[in-house]
Chains A and B, each alone.
Chain A
């Protein structure tokens, strides 16, 4: 087994693009669930709308990066409004049902050939990042960063991704410590009590839903900009549940939690993948083939999550008194 390679691949995930993209999606969920008590099981849809919004605006409308970026955000904000208007007046469970159904519906809509003119159908969309990479100040070449060697494009997308994570995290810290954030936490605890104190609960929940959805769409844009390909198959419900795993790993009502949760999650995936592959290659696991390793590691993730629920229900950073799985 090549331990140096295992180490560099695993450590590379620490600041990987997907790590940042999932961290963003999970930060959106933290806004929804951790701070407002909204059960959103359709974060994949918000991320997908960001990704498709960006790609569509670039390829079909020929907008530049800024316009496409704004278009992706608007798409997810409109989606949040459409889902929120009928469901936010009802109990939290209804939002969960509607989001999971809407995300599934969007997933099929994105993949169907009917809308191929806009979404590329099952082939998806590609080569929409030219303007994004034109802002890259780093000269072409490969850079040895000690742990990993990256191309100038890979470095640029990481800078933007983690820059966005930092900006969003700071904004959320400011927001959640403000009286606005306090009102949201009150709604999480008991929305009728907050209503009786003269707050328009519906408006607060809507603001939270839109904000968390928009943050999720930023994650979606980062996710597809790294490879400049956007396929419907990315936005399956698995994406949503992996985001939830990341959120719960770190702690639902925290800002640092989803970021560290994402890093730990992807490092764990890479570590198990490389170690298992290494073991299969040296013949230590005769009952496994290389192709099965990819599946086995998710099984281990499930085990990991179960242990977490049992022994540390508040996540890495959560305050046990403030937020557990029972929300």
Chain B
């Protein structure tokens, strides 16, 4: 568990400043009809840490993801990534700048093979340009490099046996793994995972948790949305809580879970119930 003092600068409160933020959002709002789905006054995501974004259904977590990655347009708001203005930028350019996301409903490209899915995740392949694609020598070398990198990642995610299969043939959990591995092909600076554990077979949970922790070791910042409280508690360095579009609390996981505002907004009457599907033993094994 990281020491909180190396994450937050000053008092720990909703929207507090971070020592080394990678993403800073200001006044981001998005309304659907009269309903303000997202209303974030200020949010900073710490660099090189694992940050969990939690909140009840309809809190605006996924909408905030969509806004930050350019998949949806906000009514108001600005945000910077690595000091660069990112508001109003098209999603593919956001990804090229090193901010790559996955989706809540897995978007494995079903009728492409697993290895082709992976290759597609790489950036700057000259063969992806229309005119250069005609001339194999212009891209064969890069393609070779990409394939080697993809094979390393597939091995790490234990998908190497499925290399030549169509992604459609994978199980739900394997697709989640593939989507995460594919997102890593571009060596992103910030990975945004939308419910990485949803629908994942418990047998795969441990390896997914390890992969997420492994990302931090390679210097990648992780921001993830999750409902599983055990997972949040055990792998995140920082937790941001949203409710009704607003940031209602943030802080280190053990502190946040005890925060009355969080218990009120999220845990509610279930404050004393076990809200994790991942068994505590599984999580502890990984530590």
Contact surface of A with B, Cβ cutoff 8 Å:
171, 174-175, 178-183, 185-186, 188-190, 192-201, 207, 321-323
Contacts and interface: CB of A to CB of B under 8 A. Distances in A.
Interface string B240-264: 0000000000000000000000000
Given A195-B92, A197-B185, A198-B93, 20 more contacts: A171-B134, A178-B136, A179-B133, A180-B128, A180-B133, A182-B119, A186-B109, A186-B117, A190-B107, A190-B109, A192-B91, A195-B95, A196-B92, A196-B100, A196-B103, A196-B107, A197-B95, A197-B183, A199-B92, A201-B92
B95 A186 contact: no
A198 B143 contact: no
Q: Classify the secondary structure of A's interface with B.
A: helix
B109 A183 contact: no
Contacts, number: 101
A182 B116 contact: yes
Contacts of A200: 90, 92
Contacts of A174: 133-134
Contact of B133 (A175, A185, A190, A321): A175
B200 to A, nearest CB: 18
Contact of B127 (A178, A195, A198, A201): A178
Contact of B120 (A178, A194, A322): A194
Given A174-B134, A179-B127, A179-B143, A193 B109 contact: yes
Chain B CB within 10 A, most for which of A171, A178, A181, A198:
A198
Interface of B: 69, 71, 90-93, 95-96, 100-103, 107-112, 116-117, 119-121, 123, 125, 127-130, 133-134, 136, 139, 143, 166, 168, 179, 182-183, 185-186
Contacts of A207: 130
A175 B121 CA distance: 19
Contact of B109 (A179, A185, A321, A323): A185
B139 A179 contact: yes
A72 to B, nearest CB: 21
Nearest to B143: A179
B137 to A, nearest CB: 12
A272 B44 CA distance: 72
Given A186-B112, A189-B109, A192-B71, A321 B166 contact: yes
B91 A196 contact: yes
Contacts of A197: 92, 95, 100, 120-121, 182-183, 185-186
